[in-house]
Amino acid sequence: MADDKTRKFSSIIVDGVAQAPSRAMLHAVGFEDADFKKPQVGIASTWSMVTPCNMHINKLAENAAQGADSAGGKSVIFNTITVSDGISMGTPGMRYSLVSREIIADSIETVAGAQGFDGLVAIGGCDKNMPGCMIGLSRLNRPSIFVYGGTIKPGAKRRDIVSVFEAVGGHAAGKVSDEELKEVEDTAIPGPGSCGGMYTANTMASAIEALGMSLPNSSAQEAVSGDKKDDCIRAGEAVLKLIENDIKPSDIMTCKSFENAITVVIALGGSTNAVLHLLAMAYAANVKLELDDFTRIGAKVPVLADVKPSGKYLMSELIEIGGIQPLMKVLLDAGLLHGDCLTVTGKTLAENLADVEPYPENQDIVHKLENPIKKDSHLVVLYGNLAPTGAVAKISGKEGLNFSGNARVFESEESALKAILDGTVVKDDVIVIRHEGPVGGPGMREMLSPTGAIMGKGLGKDVALITDGRFSGGSHGFVVGHVTPEAAVGGPIAIIKDGDPITIDAVRRTLNLAIPQDEIDSRLSQWQPSAPKETRGVLAKYAKLVCSASEGAVTDKF
């Protein structure tokens, strides 16, 4: 296997007399003479002890390296960063979460580009790891596989991280005692793995598998399991076959494969963050994808999985009945997936699904097509005078399909959370949280703390929330995020005043400020931008470079 075809990039680094210094350096990190004739496989690890989502990934990286080495390659493990959404949620630290997606992508591109790896395995856990890895792999366009670090096991009484956020709201409402809150805190997170519902991590893992960039079942394995170890070993082996056959991300990540990913996200009732991340991943892959594609596909794809946060079940329980592969087979047989898309197995999606067994007859986690939870998508793209370039809502139907109320305006997440917890926010309010977009945050924070508090206080059907920020995959209720243009660049959300009537209509797909147009025009003409919150460092740089959330909030769109 060791030839110029399989060593397209590493041969430039290690072959010939002039590259003796490179070989000398590599000898010190464990290369033998024979290794210089092998394809080099970079193993991008997001291991870190800052979060349970990633605390085990060092071992998984070693498993992937084992697989690559046994298949005739030479593995090189390197690290990139992670931050914890769950830990930083509701704090200024959350501003760095979406920024980390770009740092991860940049760092993988940088290391692999400099070191001349012939192929890559990337392993991600917490939310932004996955799209960050995929953006980096797409830019490099070398034979690559993504491996999901796996979901966490359920906590006591089937708890997860959202249980804790909602218990905080319950505590503020007097429904949860100090002792009960402490007990939830102590038992919700039992060990390694990503948050346990169909939140952003499990959503994106499923999307990437549907996209064809992970091995079958990679998205549906617990973090601490023999299946996940085997998945990593097989990924290391499989990337050598991709190198040999010169199968690159651009061969796999096509327009049709992105449509497959969107279809699976909808059927699973996945996170609104999937919209943001798939737009960004498509841009990196040179695939034209727009907000309206989610509406077009969503019109014919039902929600079938009864999973948290809006449903009952956790990812571990979906794994027990077969994961997402039987669901994909149902969607394929119904003509809702493109079966001819190439995947990292070297086979098409249809070939991968050919022998998949159906779900057990007695399960009620994934509904049948003829009995959907919702007949069309829960991801609703809204337009109107408050969102001229779009906003994204997550409407399961349980909240209702429209909401009208009066604005209660906040300039930050913290001020909104305080008002929710202290009872200032009341029934029929439309909570407006602005200056939390990609530029205004900077960083477009997730709003799980406010939405968790709303649900915990029993206001889930009584209030709505709109923001130019975004939501955790664990958020539910009548919530609208990604409002664009954002307040910091003069979007109409910037000129809302307390008491203004706002109407959200998920059927007509509209988000409107119900005041005369001449009043809107007058307010906009008087708008002045606020001073930047950050003037130096990574957040300031991000605010200067980032594009609109409706375009994926990428930083290299010039």
Residue 282: closest CA among 291, 272, 269 = 291
Active-site annotation holds for 472:
yes
Q: Is the peptide bond before 450 cis (omega within 30 degrees of 0)?
A: no
Q: What tokens were used for 301?
A: 């794809």
Tokens 């050598």 belong to residue: 240
DSSP letter for each residue of 403-422: EEEEEEEESSHHHHHHHHHT
Strand (E) positions, 282-386?
A: 379-384
CA gap 80, 379 in Å, rounded: 31
**3-state DSSP call for residue 44?**
strand
Residue for token pair 């002039």: 18
Buried b (16+ CB within 10 A) or exposed e, 256-284: bbbbbbbbbbbbbbbbbbbbbbbbbbbbb
Please identify which of the residues 88, 138, 472, 548 carries the catalytic annotation: 472
The SS3 call for residue 165 is helix
380 vs 394: CA distance, rounded Å: 6
C-alpha span between 196 and 202 (Å, rounded): 8
Q: Is beta strand 464-467 parallel, antiparallel or unpaired with respect to 429-433?
A: parallel
Dihedral pair phi/psi, residue 3, rounded to 5°: -150, 180
CB-based burial label for 129 (10 Å; 0-12, 13-18, 19+): buried
Cβ distance 25 to 114 under 8 Å? no
What are the residue numbers of the active site?
472
